[in-house]
Structure 1
């Protein structure tokens, strides 16, 4: 199963997200759940960089692990744009979860310290 964890700060803004695991929907190279999650998450990261100039802190591994953290102390207008892009990612991931819930699980957490 693909586990997605979205971490929000005390202001309810997405601060980071972590994706790990495998969908096991189909054989490697034919897994539409994995491909969809990858396209949505990497696309969101690329959009943040291309449209705001902000480079998130990213860790990616070959085993399906992706971690993305938004840098702190950004101007408010930049953070609003980033949030819109990341909330769009969440909507897309939830849509995948609604259809393929046995292969992907999304969890939301609140960051305790800012």
Structure 2
């Protein structure tokens, strides 16, 4: 199972997300659930870094991806559009494949 943790600050704004594990839906290279989750997460990172030019602390290795960002108040609307759309996509997959993807949200997180 893949677990995605969405960390929100005290204002409810996403400040970090982490993905761990493999979905186990199918063998590597044929796992549509894993491919969907990976595509959504990586596209969010690209939107933040390449489109909005935000400096993000990204860690990626096999079965793990994390992205921590410093929010720019002048880009809050754009950041929210990217990240909340990411959450919508992940939740849609989790509804269809609950045994393979779990999405959790933590509110009140403080970046250290």
TM-score after normalising by structure 1: 0.91
- Unaligned ranges ≥5, structure 1: none
Q: State the match for 2:13 in structure 1.
A: 13
* In the alignment, structure 1 residue 81 sits paired with structure 2 residue 78: yes
TM-score by length of 2: 0.93
In the alignment, structure 2 segments of 5+ residues that lack a partner are none
How far, CA to CA, are the matches of 2:79 and 2:106 in structure 1? 18
Number of aligned pairs? 111
Counterpart residue number, 1:38: 38
**Pairwise CA distance, 1:55:** 2.6
1:111 aligns with 2:103: no
CA drift of 1:78 comes to: 1.2
Q: CA RMSD in A?
A: 1.3
Query: Deviations along 1:1-49, whole A, 9 cap, x unmatched?
Result: 0000000000000000000001000011000010000000000110112
* Cα offset, 1:99, TM superposition: 0.5
